[in-house]
Chain A
């Protein structure tokens, strides 16, 4: 399996729930501060746990790409929307449903999937190294 730089879970227990990663992402992608228009999200607790950060792990052969032909993965592993017009009529959101972690969110404004570009801004801002950007096989 090729090694690629990806977002990687380093110290999950250290998450403060500060939303820095989320807001940085929405700023980077849409120039706004939003918890819904973002490619990374926070899930507040399950069974008494702290916050869980949900992000695109940049799978090899991702299931979201398999689910819809409007999506493609390039050689570097980045997701691309190759046929945005397909999204306009979409009612099923198969791409989002295909990811078991729910990492792929649909933009409520445009109805299009919000694709993680693995830009690493979220990892850079995380104050507690919950996520990191590094070369990994995952």
Chain B
């Protein structure tokens, strides 16, 4: 029997056809996830195309541990990003990976565009192409509710949907999986919208085999025990990622008022502890994961007098709270949750929309944009009502300003001014950690310009109040960038990175029939990181031309003010050592 599920399902939307191709060498070489998907992207995506053109492929890849090991069940999506114009890579949890593998596929490649709104249904037999007109314009939630099948089917069904923002091609529209999981970043939703693809449902009615069931069971138990019997995952289970709010506020790294401040006077009102005590409804897990990191809160806005409430559940994490809470100076948990819910309903990335709204608030304050351009909205810090209206306008685009805002803060600033406070790097909005040099440099040199690429923020926090040693920071970033690409090719959830030590990774691979040494794995991680940049460079990404908003060097970070010369030196050093590039 094959060690890995090595069938790639190719779907051609233009012809409503599909093809299943076995690619054992490819899986043997890259194992799955990021590595496999980026390789397929290099193969399938023609150079220089418009990200919204039919030729832009969407590749969805689980990893070798998906459906088999705990905390390793995410799916990696890659595509050419409409937001940055280069590598689009986003990871999401949910049942998608397990279902895809249980239907018998190791990866999914979606090509071309459908002529009319389409919904595809995938099962072990193949693919059904269905008319999505009845769910056109619906939020992800409402579309999903309608597509979820009867009990028999729903037992192992995963549903991916986009909302109106994706249909209207907002550059940072997200895709939703099984209600609480998101391919949040870099605009996968818009690529789905451009393909006229509203939703995918996968029925995983088959099963996954392992070569040595005894060894597998033993290894599974070992991983599981580490997860539940040590405190390595405690943060993610108890308070969840919103635990970061107070921690970062304390060290002045919680971006506030569009990064003008590192601490927020109302941090306690929107922190993880407050949410846990007053707003949390329940926790939700991905299949096989005992952690339940998804913290689902309950909002119940009154829509009339006489105790008339709308029961709304809102999945929230630290990044959404920073982006739509502190960074916009929204003072209460309730309002922050309302903004997150609105963003989720429209199907927009919470981080990016917060980033864009922060730019708009400051641009309005400074007179760069006016009431006529905003369609009468007067955004101000903490003004939730205006923000809710602006979100609708960013999706419906009634004015040129909103069409620009729908392309991200950097594009909006290029048109209207305020580039010095458009807080994006490489086109992607900044994550919520104003910790120091490593966070900023890490975001620039990460494959997907995300804090998860290399945890620069973590490096910064470890060297707090010490003199930064630039070459040590560069060292750590190189190591983390490469090793994390190995982890995301195995599609190990990065929350569980301390569980999956180098030793544990090797053991778990062995349990699914793959023998690899640490050296081989490190080499593979490095190779995959470089293929991500091969695609980025091919599509015009240039480390020399990355715009760095001036505010980064003006506002205080947890490690004090950043010196631009020192920073440029580190970037040069990184480029030289990792890419042999002279900046």
Binding site for B on A (CB under 8 A): 9, 11-14, 43, 46-50, 52, 54, 56-57, 59-63, 66, 98-103, 128, 137-138
By CB atoms of chain B within 10 A, which of A13, A54, A63 has the most? Answer: A13
Instruction: Check if B310 sits within 8 Å of A100, measured CB to CB.
Output: no
Instruction: Check if A63 sits within 8 Å of B130, measured CB to CB.
Output: yes
B138 within 8 A of A: yes
- Known A13-B310, A13-B312: A46·B145 in contact at CB below 8 Å: yes
Query: What is the CA–CA distance of A100 and B117 in the complex, to the nearest angstrom?
Result: 12
Instruction: Check if A52 sits within 8 Å of B311, measured CB to CB.
Output: no
Query: What is the CA–CA distance of A110 and B511 in the complex, to the nearest angstrom?
Result: 57
Query: What is the CA–CA distance of A91 and B116 in the complex, to the nearest angstrom?
Result: 28
What are the interface flags for B7-50 relative to A under an 8 Å C-beta threshold, 1 for contact and 0 otherwise? 00000000000000000000000000000000000000000000
Option from B133, B138, B144, B313 in Cβ contact (under 8 Å) with A9: B138
What are the interface flags for B114-141 relative to A under an 8 Å C-beta threshold, 1 for contact and 0 otherwise? 0010010000000000111111111001
Instruction: Check if B145 sits within 8 Å of A59, measured CB to CB.
Output: no
Residues on A with beta carbons closer than 8 Å to the beta carbon of B312: 13
Option from B132, B137, B144, B313 in Cβ contact (under 8 Å) with A46: B144
Option from B134, B178, B313 in Cβ contact (under 8 Å) with A100: B134
Instruction: Check if A63 sits within 8 Å of B133, measured CB to CB.
Output: yes
Residues on A with beta carbons closer than 8 Å to the beta carbon of B154: 46
Instruction: Check if B311 sits within 8 Å of A103, measured CB to CB.
Output: no
Distance (whole angstroms) from the CB of B3 to the closest CB of chain A: 33
B225 within 8 A of A: no
Instruction: Check if A57 sits within 8 Å of B178, measured CB to CB.
Output: no
Option from A9, A54, A63 in Cβ contact (under 8 Å) with B131: A63
B102 within 8 A of A: no
Instruction: Check if A100 sits within 8 Å of B119, measured CB to CB.
Output: yes
Instruction: Check if A52 sits within 8 Å of B145, measured CB to CB.
Output: yes
Query: What is the CA–CA distance of A102 and B144 in the complex, to the nearest angstrom?
Result: 13
Residues on A with beta carbons closer than 8 Å to the beta carbon of B308: 14, 128
Residues on B with beta carbons closer than 8 Å to the beta carbon of A47: 148, 178-179
A-B contact pairs, 16 of them (CB 8 A): A13-B310, A13-B311, A14-B303, A43-B145, A46-B144, A46-B145, A50-B311, A52-B142, A54-B146, A59-B133, A98-B130, A99-B131, A100-B135, A101-B134, A101-B146, A103-B134
Option from A11, A12, A50, A61 in Cβ contact (under 8 Å) with B133: A61
Query: What is the CA–CA distance of A79 and B198 in the complex, to the nearest angstrom?
Result: 24
Residue in B closest to A50 when the chains form the complex, CB atoms: B311
* Interface of chain B residues 293 through 324 with chain A (CB within 8 A): 303, 308, 310-313
Main secondary structure of the interface of A (DSSP, over half): loop
Binding site for A on B (CB under 8 A): 116, 119, 130-138, 141-142, 144-148, 154, 178-179, 282, 303, 308, 310-313
By CB atoms of chain A within 10 A, which of B131, B134, B179 has the most? Answer: B134
Instruction: Check if B133 sits within 8 Å of A49, measured CB to CB.
Output: no
Cβ-closest 6 pairs across A and B: A63-B131, A59-B133, A13-B310, A101-B146, A52-B145, A46-B148
Residues on B with beta carbons closer than 8 Å to the beta carbon of A49: 141, 145, 179
Residues on A with beta carbons closer than 8 Å to the beta carbon of B303: 11, 14
Instruction: Check if A101 sits within 8 Å of B131, measured CB to CB.
Output: no
Query: What is the CA–CA distance of A50 and B145 in the complex, to the nearest angstrom?
Result: 10
Query: What is the CA–CA distance of A57 and B143 in the complex, to the nearest angstrom?
Result: 12
Instruction: Check if B147 sits within 8 Å of A100, measured CB to CB.
Output: yes
Residues on B with beta carbons closer than 8 Å to the beta carbon of A59: 131, 133-134, 136
Residues on A with beta carbons closer than 8 Å to the beta carbon of B148: 46-47
Instruction: Check if B137 sits within 8 Å of A138, measured CB to CB.
Output: yes
- Known A14-B303, A63-B130, A98-B131: A9·B142 in contact at CB below 8 Å: yes
Residues on B with beta carbons closer than 8 Å to the beta carbon of A50: 311
Residues on B with beta carbons closer than 8 Å to the beta carbon of A137: 137
For the complex with contacts A52-B146, A66-B131, A100-B130, 10 further pairs of A-B residues with Cβ separation under 8 Å are A12-B142, A43-B145, A46-B154, A47-B178, A48-B313, A52-B145, A57-B135, A59-B133, A59-B136, A100-B119
Residues on A with beta carbons closer than 8 Å to the beta carbon of B282: 48
Residues on B with beta carbons closer than 8 Å to the beta carbon of A11: 303, 310
Query: What is the CA–CA distance of A119 and B161 in the complex, to the nearest angstrom?
Result: 30
Query: What is the CA–CA distance of A99 and B137 in the complex, to the nearest angstrom?
Result: 16
Query: What is the CA–CA distance of A56 and B146 in the complex, to the nearest angstrom?
Result: 12
Distance (whole angstroms) from the CB of B422 to the closest CB of chain A: 33
Query: What is the CA–CA distance of A62 and B145 in the complex, to the nearest angstrom?
Result: 20
Query: What is the CA–CA distance of A43 and B116 in the complex, to the nearest angstrom?
Result: 27
Residue in B closest to A13 when the chains form the complex, CB atoms: B310
Query: What is the CA–CA distance of A131 and B130 in the complex, to the nearest angstrom?
Result: 25
Residue in B closest to A137 when the chains form the complex, CB atoms: B137
Instruction: Check if B146 sits within 8 Å of A100, measured CB to CB.
Output: yes
Distance (whole angstroms) from the CB of A90 to the closest CB of chain B: 20
Query: What is the CA–CA distance of A61 and B134 in the complex, to the nearest angstrom?
Result: 10
Query: What is the CA–CA distance of A46 and B201 in the complex, to the nearest angstrom?
Result: 14
Residues on A with beta carbons closer than 8 Å to the beta carbon of B130: 63, 98, 100
Distance (whole angstroms) from the CB of B133 to the closest CB of chain A: 4
- Known A13-B311, A14-B303, A63-B130: A101·B178 in contact at CB below 8 Å: no
Residues on A with beta carbons closer than 8 Å to the beta carbon of B179: 47, 49
Query: What is the CA–CA distance of A63 and B16 in the complex, to the nearest angstrom?
Result: 15
Instruction: Check if B311 sits within 8 Å of A100, measured CB to CB.
Output: no
- Known A47-B179, A50-B311, A100-B119: A60·B144 in contact at CB below 8 Å: no
Query: What is the CA–CA distance of A126 and B380 in the complex, to the nearest angstrom?
Result: 37
Distance (whole angstroms) from the CB of B384 to the closest CB of chain A: 18
Residues on B with beta carbons closer than 8 Å to the beta carbon of A138: 136-137
Residues on A with beta carbons closer than 8 Å to the beta carbon of B137: 137-138
Residues on B with beta carbons closer than 8 Å to the beta carbon of A98: 130-131
Query: What is the CA–CA distance of A14 and B491 in the complex, to the nearest angstrom?
Result: 38
Distance (whole angstroms) from the CB of A7 to the closest CB of chain B: 11
Distance (whole angstroms) from the CB of A109 to the closest CB of chain B: 22
